[in-house]
Amino acid sequence: MKSFFFGIVFLAVLLPAQTPPTESFEDLAARAQADVDSQPAEAVALFKKALDLQPTWAAGWLYMAGDLYGLRRYPEARDAFRKGIELAPKTGTAYGFLGLCEYELGDFNQAYADIRKGESLGLGANLPFETVVRDRAALILARDQAFDEALAQLGPLTTRGVNTPEVTEAIGLCALTISKPLERLSEHERAVVDLAGKATWANMSRRSTEAEAGFKELMAKYPDDPGVHYAYGVYQMEIDQRAALAEFEKELKANPAHWPSMLVVAFLKTRDGDPQSGIQITQKAMRLQPARNRWIAQTAIGQAYLSMGEPEKAIVELEAAVKQQPMNDSVHFFLGQAYRQAGRKEDAQREKDEFVRLREQMDPRSMPTPPGLSAGGAATEPAR
């Protein structure tokens, strides 16, 4: 027995060590990309090995990050997307995914900033991916009571018939001006949000029969719930503005601090030839609304001054609004009108061009498909 043991040791010393052959970067990269959709965990391991050999492989970082996101390994995915973006800074889909990771990690401000960056570069042609990105952006904005901006995020989806439960829920929150996260709503509140979201979605997507039926049901079932009269008033704005005004006044009677209703009442007062009252009501709303939404009141005051033929005063308000909300196309439109009324033709043209650029940016059909990362199967829908 002893001689056998020493024989094995002797052979081990004499024979060369049998190490597995080293895989090349090319082999690892090819295997990783072959597994990227079908076996994401295995693909991640292969990407890591390939990136150890070639850490400047931008696509590798981005594909690996996409798989990590699909596996809900959000901290790792976030870091990998950031590395990939360093190497390929013009990839809009990567910024979109980065924003999704940051949303899941509760870093909402940074998530929204990165989503907007992704939108400016182009989110690509994958509609399910774009739907998730826009939905998360809208939920972030709703938390900050930026309901108009949130609906603007969701608008391009309604034009293409996207009515997933997530999208209609987000629309419902905005329609009812609810800033509380969905997960904190009661069962009753979720039911109101669901119905308001479906009715408002139908209205936004120009399905008039569905919208009318939806709002009738909403008013019949939940006439005393907060935000319902406001949502119905917004719907009525294109049908009967006197009826709309009555709904906003009902909302204010039940909730005197409801600043979104104040702003619409102020707009209607200005439109009916009483801009002074419009300004006074807007200034009251400004004291109640969050600071990040100050631009809405400034825009309303600017419009009132325009209707009074006082473009210089309008410019002061609208320039301040643009400074706070540079990515809002409507503010640029009104500022362009003010410049034109003041005789500042070059400034007016600049604002018109910016309005057109931002409007096209918000319409995904005008966005080019960026090179680099495909939004493929990695756009897994996580729980919200």
Could you read off the pLDDT of 176-188 as tens digits, one per residue? Answer: 999 999 999 999 9
Give the model's pLDDT for residue 361. Answer: 72
| pLDDT exceeds cutoff 50 at 297 | yes
| pLDDT exceeds cutoff 70 at 206 | yes
What's the rounded mean pLDDT across residues 336-342?
96
Query: What pTM, to 2 d.p., does this model score?
Result: 0.81
Give the model's pLDDT for residue 280. Answer: 95
Mean pLDDT of the chain: 88
pLDDT band at 35 (very low <50, low <70, confident <90, very high): confident
In the chain, domain spans? 25-124
* HEC readout, the chain: CHHHHHHHHHHHHHCCCCCCCCCCHHHHHHHHHHHCCCCHHHHHHHHHHHHHHCCCCHHHHHHHHHHHHHCCCHHHHHHHHHHHHHHCCCCHHHHHHHHHHHHHCCCHHHHHHHHHHHHHHCCCCCHHHHHHHHHHHHHHHHHCCCHHHHHHHHHHHHCCCCCCHHHHHHHHHHHCCCCCCHHHCCHHHHHHHHHHHHHHHHHHCCCHHHHHHHHHHHHHHCCCCCCHHHHHHHHHCCCCHHHHHHHHHHHHHHCCCCHHHHHHHHHHHHHCCCHHHHHHHHHHHHHHCCHHHHHHHHHHHHHHHHHCCCHHHHHHHHHHHHHHCCCCHHHHHHHHHHHHHCCCHHHHHHHHHHHHHHHHHHCHHHCCCCCCCCCCCCCCCCCC
Give the model's pLDDT for residue 41. Answer: 92
What's the rounded mean pLDDT across residues 18-28?
69
pLDDT band at 3 (very low <50, low <70, confident <90, very high): very low
pLDDT band at 374 (very low <50, low <70, confident <90, very high): very low
Give the model's pLDDT for residue 185. Answer: 96
What's the rounded mean pLDDT across residues 116-130?
94
Could you read off the pLDDT of 51-102 as tens digits, one per residue? Answer: 999 999 999 999 999 999 999 999 999 999 999 999 999 999 999 999 999 9
Give the model's pLDDT for residue 37. Answer: 80
What's the rounded mean pLDDT across residues 254-264?
95
pLDDT band at 14 (very low <50, low <70, confident <90, very high): very low
pLDDT band at 362 (very low <50, low <70, confident <90, very high): low
pLDDT band at 367 (very low <50, low <70, confident <90, very high): very low
Give the model's pLDDT for residue 173. Answer: 98
Give the model's pLDDT for residue 220. Answer: 98
Architecture of the domain defined by 25-124: Alpha Horseshoe (1.25)
What's the rounded mean pLDDT across residues 332-356?
96
| pLDDT exceeds cutoff 50 at 156 | yes
What's the rounded mean pLDDT across residues 293-307?
92
